[in-house]
Amino acid sequence: MTMNTTNLHPLAVTGPADYPTGSLVGYCRTTYATLIASLGLPHHHDIDGKVTVEWAFRCADGTSFHVYDWKEAATPKADYWWHIGGNGPRSLKAFARHTGLPISYTQDLP
């Protein structure tokens, strides 16, 4: 499955063989429904008991990012600080560029 947004390089859904490595690089405070509207349905479910859903993408330039919840009993549906994983600021910026959603390096409280 490949997604394309106007004027952006295609995003490829990553499979288990080329699953993106990295760690937490930032956050996006949004809802589950907004993520589905931006990224499609989650690619992975119930990962190792720590993540209930996750999206994983690799951009045409090789940058990857993944979006996931962390240590929740159930998938958060309301506003939530979704975790963005990757290999540094480029991953966080790729997520923002492809979704148009705001990003944060910390869980900024209102």
- What is the model's pLDDT at position 62? 84
- Comparing 19 with 3, the larger pLDDT belongs to 19
Cα–Cα dist 52/27, whole Å: 16
| pLDDT: which is higher, 47 or 86 | 86
Question: Mean pLDDT over all residues of the chain?
Answer: 83
Structure tokens at 49: 């008991």
Instruction: Determine the Cα–Cα distance for residues 2 and 12; give it in Å rounded to an integer.
Output: 5
Least confident of 43-47, 62-66, 71-75: 43-47
Q: Are 95 and 84 in contact (CB under 8 A)?
A: yes
Distances (CA, A) of 25 to 10, 58, 103: 22, 15, 10
The per-residue pLDDT for 54 is: 92
Closest by Cα among 95, 49, 53 to 77: 53
pLDDT tens sequence across 5-36: 344 456 666 554 456 578 999 999 999 999 99
pTM, full prediction: 0.82
In 1-110, which residue ranges form alpha helices assigned H by DSSP? 32-39, 89-99
